[in-house]
Amino acid sequence: MSDSSTRHPMTGNEMSAAAEGGIERHQYDVIVIGAGGSGLRAAIAAHDSGAKVAVVCKSLLGKAHTVMAEGGAAAAMGNLYPEDNWQVHFRDTMRGGKMLNNWRMAQLHAQEAPERVMELEDWGALFDRTADGLISQRDFGGHRYARLAHIGDRTGLEMIRTLQQRLVALGIDVYMECTVTDLLKAPTDSGADRIAGAFGYWRETGRFIVFETPAVVLATGGFGKAWKVTSNSWEYTGDGHALALRAGATLINMECVQFHPTGMVWPPSVKGLLVTESVRGDGGVLKNSEGERFMFNHIPEYFRAETADTIEEADRWYEDKKNNRRPPELLPRDEVARAINAEVKAGRGTPHGGVYLDIASRRTPEFIKKRLPSMYHQFKELADVDITKEPMEIGPTCHYAMGGVEVDPETEMSVVPGLYSVGECSGGMHGSNRLGGNSLSDLIVFGKRAGDAAAAYAASNGIPSVSEDDVEQAKRSALAPFELEGGENPYAIQSDLQQTMQDLVGIIREGAELEEAISRIETFKQRIAQMTVEGHRQYNPGWHLAIDLRNMLLVSEAVAKAALARQESRGGHTRNDFPGPDPEWGRKNLVVSLDAEGTGVDLREQALPEMPDDLKKFFEE
């Protein structure tokens, strides 16, 4: 229990965790949840703006999912193509998202990405160079010019290490292997509750911890772990999405889930593991079992004018972008994933149910090893495939959540005062489909904005007091899985949920299947209420999963319900029963909020913000 007399006179911290039932307490101006690229960038910005800030993360510092990003960070720096600029990047991003993006976020992103990338270099990142010594830029799907700042195919690792080292140099506090399970709120005069803190537990000891803070930045990434075949790690359980919903915030774009076209399909142990789009950016092509470069048969009308329709033109483009159009292998990810899916369904798949991705016959072994060292290593070590000699077998894998917390584009604040969201756990920026390379730049652009805004908010709103009843409630809720005996194992429920999402809310969807998914989600809710974990609170993965599973389930319901409501196909949302885009649906978002009982979600339609005329002109042709 809180007792102000036992607090440290200067920090206000209370360290009573060792006592029986004790809770460790800390006060900060800003708490950032998540230590990937966006969380670290937000923390650095808040610190630079004068706030006392801490990062709280489920894993060790430097292990977040950002390390898995391979290709690069999209930024119109114009180092290779001086004709590239923010306007072109903005246009590519909006078209890639099939115009469902929040235009202002897409604009800010395109405008600010180059300076954010340069900052990484100031902080020690060693990007690959052009012949002139500038930051090199690489081709990627949906980007008109070579635009991705990169380091071989391990750009995410470089970004996280750079930000991590900066964070350490600045002396910012980090609470590693610490999971936040609830956000705490306090009433205000205006009637709307504002953020008052966060409640969580140390994974190592199972002890509870309370952060008292006026501002929380959610930077928890996505929720791909709700699917069976995914490129995402165990951490991706939609924690930020669910915390936001429970705190009264809203989510948008939840029906739009990106299936990356190229995940490994063999061996089963690594099914879903990402194969970077850089393979195609650097010349790799897709072939079916008949040896045909099938992407030429799948060019959608929307991109026909800017896509090469012969192999000769496509191959010339790598050297001469002015006089040739892009190869169809470099269409946006949603288009390529659907095409692969269609080829496999038509019986032209590989022995393990994928298609071939071939760079061996197109580039020299030296080039491949230099440009794609991680991929070379990954296939050699995990699949016994030498990608300089033979094609890879690949297929779509659940990769990225376009959907996330609805935020103000300038500050990244949600509808809950003091609650911010950035990176994959925010919505709007990528519309219905994200272009490759736009994630890493998203992290640093909006991470900085949120950190700045949260620090300013904290400066003008003091630390509110946390309700002890809320803390007690959060404790009870976290310990619930230990209360029951003889209940179900959380691993079994997670596995069934993943199978359901894979089968019924996958890359191609249908009304009846989505309805079936929603009804199964209701039965999962009953099952998680009867869940039991064995052992005690110290580093107990069964307990950790039991807590994360609740988030995964709430987010899965949001995806399934939004997918059922949006009766059209657009970007990362494809309906068999509504195969084309519908201009009516193209003008609105589906907004998800927690229902009145607090056990599920409600949906409402909301008009997209209108783009100003001076930006509309980029889309008139």
Partner 1 sequence: MTELTEASTSSGYQLKMRIWRGDADGGSLGDYTVEVSEGEVVLDALHRVQATQAGDLAIRWNCKAGKCGSCSAEINGKPRLLCMTRLSDFDPAETITVTPMRSFPVIRDLVTDVSYNYEKARELPGVELGPRDADGKRRMMQVDVERGQEFRKCIECFLCQNTCHVVRDHEDNKPAFAGPRFFLRYAELDMHPLDTRDRRETVRDQAGIGLCNITKCCTEVCPEGIKITDNAIIPMKERVADKKYDPLVWLGNKIGLRNKDNDGRTAT
Residues 193-222 that bind partner 1 (CB under 8 A): 204
260, 326, 399, 509: the catalytic one is: 260
Where on the phi/psi map is residue 598: left (φ > 0), alpha (ψ -120 to 50), or beta? left
280, 550, 570, 573: the catalytic one is: 280
Site for partner 1 contains 541 (CB under 8 A): yes
Site for partner 1 in 165-194 (CB under 8 A): 165-166, 168-169, 171, 176
Site for partner 1 in 379-438 (CB under 8 A): 381-385, 390, 393
> What whole-number distance in Å separates Cα of residue 489 and Cα of residue 244?
27
Instruction: Identify the three-state secondary structure at position 421.
Output: strand
Which is nearer to partner 1, 543 or 578 (by Cβ)? 543
Owner of token pair 């917390």? 405
Which is nearer to partner 1, 486 or 580 (by Cβ)? 486
> What whole-number distance in Å separates Cα of residue 446 and Cα of residue 114?
13
**Pairing of the two strands 30-33 and 23-27:** unpaired
> What whole-number distance in Å separates Cα of residue 320 and Cα of residue 314?
10
> What whole-number distance in Å separates Cα of residue 505 and Cα of residue 574?
10
Site for partner 1 in 358-377 (CB under 8 A): 373-374, 377
In angstroms, what is the minimal distance from the CB of 232 to partner 1? Answer: 9
Site for partner 1 in 434-453 (CB under 8 A): none
In angstroms, what is the minimal distance from the CB of 156 to partner 1? Answer: 8
Stretch that binds partner 1, among 227-235, 311-319, 415-423, 551-559 (CB under 8 A): 227-235
Phi, psi values for residue 590, rounded to 5°:
-100, 120
Q: Give the one residue of 12, 16, 111, 134 binding partner 1; rule: CB under 8 A.
A: 134
Question: What one-letter code names the amino acid at 430?
Answer: H
> Which strand (E) or helix (H) includes residue 600?
none
Side-chain-facing half-sphere of 33: CA atoms under 13 Å: 35
**Residues binding partner 1: what is the number (CB under 8 A)?**
76
> What whole-number distance in Å separates Cα of residue 342 and Cα of residue 358?
19
Is residue 368 within 8 Å of 376, Cβ to Cβ? yes
Stretch that binds partner 1, among 424-432, 488-496, 598-606, 610-618 (CB under 8 A): 488-496
| Residue 280 bears catalytic tag | yes
In angstroms, what is the minimal distance from the CB of 462 to partner 1? Answer: 31
Site for partner 1 in 59-78 (CB under 8 A): 59-65, 67-68
In angstroms, what is the minimal distance from the CB of 157 to partner 1? Answer: 7
Instruction: Identify the three-state secondary structure at position 368.
Output: helix
Q: Give the one residue of 35, 148, 273, 340 binding partner 1; rule: CB under 8 A.
A: 273
Owner of token pair 């925010």? 426
In angstroms, what is the minimal distance from the CB of 486 to partner 1? Answer: 14
Nearest partner of 283 among 395, 377, 375, 367, judged by Cα = 367
Site for partner 1 in 282-311 (CB under 8 A): none
> Which strand (E) or helix (H) includes residue 37?
helix 37-48
In angstroms, what is the minimal distance from the CB of 269 to partner 1? Answer: 4
> Which strand (E) or helix (H) includes residue 497?
helix 490-504
Which is nearer to partner 1, 246 or 352 (by Cβ)? 352
In the structure encoding, which two tokens stand for residue 418, read together? 């003091």
Which is nearer to partner 1, 106 or 229 (by Cβ)? 229
How far is C-alpha 274 from the chain's CA centre? 14
Is residue 34 within 8 Å of 446, Cβ to Cβ? no
In angstroms, what is the minimal distance from the CB of 165 to partner 1? Answer: 6
Burial 271-296 (b: 16+ CB within 10 A, else e): bbbbbbbbbbbbbbbbbbbeeebbbb
Q: Give the one residue of 22, 111, 207, 234 binding partner 1; rule: CB under 8 A.
A: 234
| Residue 260 bears catalytic tag | yes
Residue 129 CB burial class (10 angstroms; 0-12, 13-18, ≥19):
exposed
Instruction: Identify the three-state secondary structure at position 485.
Output: coil
> What whole-number distance in Å separates Cα of residue 43 and Cα of residue 55?
7
Which is nearer to partner 1, 5 or 269 (by Cβ)? 269
In the structure encoding, which two tokens stand for residue 383, read together? 């699949």
Stretch that binds partner 1, among 53-61, 295-303, 428-436, 451-459 (CB under 8 A): 53-61
Which is nearer to partner 1, 400 or 457 (by Cβ)? 400
Site for partner 1 contains 342 (CB under 8 A): no
How far is C-alpha 471 from the chain's CA centre? 29
Q: Give the one residue of 235, 255, 358, 424 binding partner 1; rule: CB under 8 A.
A: 235
In angstroms, what is the minimal distance from the CB of 340 to partner 1? Answer: 17
Separation of first and last alpha carbons in the chain: 65
Site for partner 1 in 92-131 (CB under 8 A): 118, 121-124, 126-129
Site for partner 1 in 143-162 (CB under 8 A): 151-152, 154, 157-158, 161
Is residue 589 within 8 Å of 608, Cβ to Cβ? yes
Which is nearer to partner 1, 157 or 285 (by Cβ)? 157
Site for partner 1 contains 251 (CB under 8 A): no
Contact string (CB under 8 A) for partner 1, positions 516-535, x = contact: -----------------xxx
Stretch that binds partner 1, among 104-112, 212-220, 432-440, 485-493 (CB under 8 A): 485-493
Contact string (CB under 8 A) for partner 1, positions 497-516, x = contact: --------------------
In angstroms, what is the minimal distance from the CB of 24 to partner 1? Answer: 17
In the structure encoding, which two tokens stand for residue 201, read together? 């537990």
Catalytic residues, by residue number, are 260, 280
